[in-house]
Amino acid sequence: MPTYRAPRGTRDLLPDERAAFRRLETIASMLARRYGYREIETPMFEDAAVFERGVGAVTDVVEKELFRIARRTEEGDSWALRPEPTAGIVRAYIEHGMQTWPQPVKLTMTGPMFRHDRPQAGRFRQFWQFDIEAIGDPGPAIDAEIIELGRAFYRLAGLDDVEVLLNSIGDAACRPAYIKTLIAYFEPHAAELPALERERLHKNPMRLLDSKDPAMAELNAAAPRISDLLCEPCRIHFAAVREHLEALGITYRIEPGLVRGLDYYTRTAFEFFVPGREGGQQALGGGGRYDGLVELLGGHPTPGIGFGLGLDRIVIALEARAGEARQELEGAPVAVVVGADPAATAVRLKVATDLRAAGIAARADLGRRKLGKQLESAARDRAHFVVIIGDELADGNVQLKDLDAGSQQLVALADLARKLVSGERSHRHGGGDA
Ligand code: AMP
């Protein structure tokens, strides 16, 4: 038993898994650029009030899951690790006067989030999100564009059958009346409600609708739907979002129980699911419109919309598809430099250094072991080529062995980098030797 382990609910991403995350980060960054989103990086912790106000005090995320950092009395501050990116990004939008920039301000950030949740499959205390925010656009067209961007991300990641669940949760004009209707509907059943739901009935009744408690299923199925009670502007907005999605050929399902866990959402709310897993706890990602948030955090009233797509669950979903999407393992060197004279490490190091300076992923075998052992280790590394240094070096030559083809040729040291570049290219494209 090791003395220390990663904290409960966290895990080390070992190189193969880290490579899977890196691949998703690369797709995220490429797509974000393509859609006109620029990168921002906010601190991993904020004044806890940013989340308490911005996410909402009566949400799981703040009530139960916020990772609070011990108060430093001399500063009187209270901090918390970010449980989600939107509140921090909106805080930055206000702090840096981004209201004066051309609107909408389109921002993206990919990084770890922290929730002190009960750990279980697909639910971690540190997890990664690809986040997109468009602040300053009231929609509805951008709502559809963002949903389409989310779907494009999943498709490139290798999940091309992700389902879109959509709802409108109204706004400050129509939600208060809906909440009253909802309380009136649940109140006669208060005694039968599970404890958590009973406690929330008056504080945040919409959360009852996405309760995971099976005891709620029947009551929820018959609950009044906000889509029937939207005010005229919200109804028009929702219809327009749907029209734009249809124009893009995006299929979606209206899900009246989709209310999202965070208080700041208005109107459009959406989630992405692996088909067959809707309704469970395991959304792949989600987002929505937050037209009240900028004002709530002290800025001028400004509409906004965004999403957070969890990377962990994509990696898990891809792994579950029986190796189907197992990528070629990253990090294998193109070439390993080995030598007949085990002691001649300086020359091997020099050759590998020159290859790396020429842009080739190369390593030298720097152990003082026999040539046979060096070759075995190069094969284990999944290198495509070995460069063997022997007596030919006196004439400025080395042996270049193609491990996949099994062929070997004498190559001038001066020509080695060029040969490796063209050899690697034909390897990648399924061609012949160097
Ligand atoms: P949320 O803001 O709760 O809708 O989260 C957005 C996405 O982040 C979810 O759909 C998940 O993919 C991911 N996510 C949220 N919480 C966790 C968690 N505890 N562990 C892993 N992924 C999470």
Q: How far is CA 255 from CA 6, 163, 250, 272, in A?
A: 38, 12, 15, 12
Q: Is 143 a pocket residue for ligand 1 (Cβ < 6 Å)? A: no
Domain shared by 407 and 362, yes or no: yes
Q: Is 115 a pocket residue for ligand 1 (Cβ < 6 Å)? A: yes
Nearest CA to ligand 1 atom 8: 310
Q: Is 59 a pocket residue for ligand 1 (Cβ < 6 Å)? A: no
Distance of CA 128 from the midpoint of ligand 1 (Å)? 8
Region 16-42 average pLDDT: 96
Residue 354 lies in a domain: yes
Distance of CA 301 from the midpoint of ligand 1 (Å)? 27
Domain boundary among 252, 286, 319: 319
Q: What is the pLDDT of residues 113-137, one digit of tens each?
A: 999 988 988 999 999 999 999 999 9
Show the tokens assigned to 417: 């980098």
Percent of the chain clearing pLDDT 90 (strictly above): 67
- Report field, pTM of the whole predicted structure over 0.95: no
Residue 224 lies in a domain: no
Domain boundary among 277, 293, 319: 319
Decide: 390 and 339 in contact? Cβ < 8 Å.
yes
Region 24-36 average pLDDT: 96
Domain shared by 373 and 341, yes or no: yes
Q: What is the pLDDT of residues 250-268, one digit of tens each?
A: 999 999 888 876 667 899 9
Nearest CA to ligand 1 atom 4: 286
Length, in residues, of the chain: 434
d(CA 266, CA 11): 34
**Number of structural domains found in the chain:** 2
Q: Is 257 a pocket residue for ligand 1 (Cβ < 6 Å)? A: no
Does the pLDDT of residue 139 top 70, yes or no?
yes
Sheet holding 407-412, edge to edge: 362-364, 335-339, 385-389, 397-402, 407-412
pLDDT band at 331 (very low <50, low <70, confident <90, very high): low
Decide: 335 and 383 in contact? Cβ < 8 Å.
yes
Domain shared by 99 and 155, yes or no: yes
Domain shared by 303 and 340, yes or no: no
Return the ligand 1 atom nearest residue 309 CA. 7
Decide: 47 and 95 in contact? Cβ < 8 Å.
no
d(CA 204, CA 57): 10
Does the pLDDT of residue 88 top 90, yes or no?
yes
Residue 145 lies in a domain: yes
pLDDT of residue 114: 97
Domain shared by 369 and 345, yes or no: yes
Distance of CA 357 from the midpoint of ligand 1 (Å)? 42
- Beta strand residue intervals within 145-223, DSSP E: 163-168
Helix (H) or strand (E) holding 410: strand 407-412
Does the pLDDT of residue 324 top 60, yes or no?
no
Domain shared by 259 and 141, yes or no: yes
Please give the DSSP secondary-structure letter assigned to residue 123.
Answer: B
Helix (H, G, I), strand (E, B) or coil at 320: helix
Domain boundary among 267, 291, 319: 319
pLDDT band at 272 (very low <50, low <70, confident <90, very high): very high
Ligand 1, residues 312, 314, 315: which to mutate, most atoms within 8 A of Cβ?
312
Domain shared by 310 and 363, yes or no: no
Distance of CA 360 from the midpoint of ligand 1 (Å)? 38
Distance of CA 285 from the midpoint of ligand 1 (Å)? 6
DSSP string, 27-74: HHHHHHHHTT-EE----SEEEHHHHHHHT-TTSHHHHT---EEEEETT
Region 104-110 average pLDDT: 98
Q: Is 288 a pocket residue for ligand 1 (Cβ < 6 Å)? A: no
Residue 351 lies in a domain: yes
Domain shared by 422 and 314, yes or no: no
Distance of CA 119 from the midpoint of ligand 1 (Å)? 12
Domain shared by 279 and 342, yes or no: no
Ligand 1, residues 126, 129, 258: which to mutate, most atoms within 8 A of Cβ?
129
Residue 401 lies in a domain: yes
Q: How far is CA 363 from the centre of its chain?
A: 32
Residue 122 lies in a domain: yes
Distance of CA 345 from the midpoint of ligand 1 (Å)? 49
Distance of CA 369 from the midpoint of ligand 1 (Å)? 49
Bigger pLDDT: 333 vs 50? 50
Domain shared by 34 and 139, yes or no: yes
Residue 365 lies in a domain: yes
Q: How far is CA 376 from CA 202, 336, 369, 373, 386, in A?
A: 68, 11, 11, 5, 11
CATH of the domain at 121: 3.30.930.10
Q: Is 313 a pocket residue for ligand 1 (Cβ < 6 Å)? A: yes
Q: What is the pLDDT of residues 200-241, one digit of tens each?
A: 888 888 888 878 788 888 888 899 998 889 999 999 999 999
Cα–Cα–Cα angle for 179, 238, 298, nearest 5°?
Answer: 65
Residue type, position 35, single letter: Y
CATH of the domain at 384: 3.40.50.800
Does the pLDDT of residue 277 top 80, yes or no?
no
Nearest CA to ligand 1 atom 16: 123
Residue 328 lies in a domain: no
Return the ligand 1 atom nearest residue 260 CA. 4
Domain shared by 234 and 156, yes or no: yes
Nearest CA to ligand 1 atom 20: 123
Cα–Cα–Cα angle for 3, 4, 10, nearest 5°?
Answer: 150
Residue type, position 384, single letter: H
Domain shared by 341 and 421, yes or no: yes
Domain enclosing residue 408, as ranges: 335-428
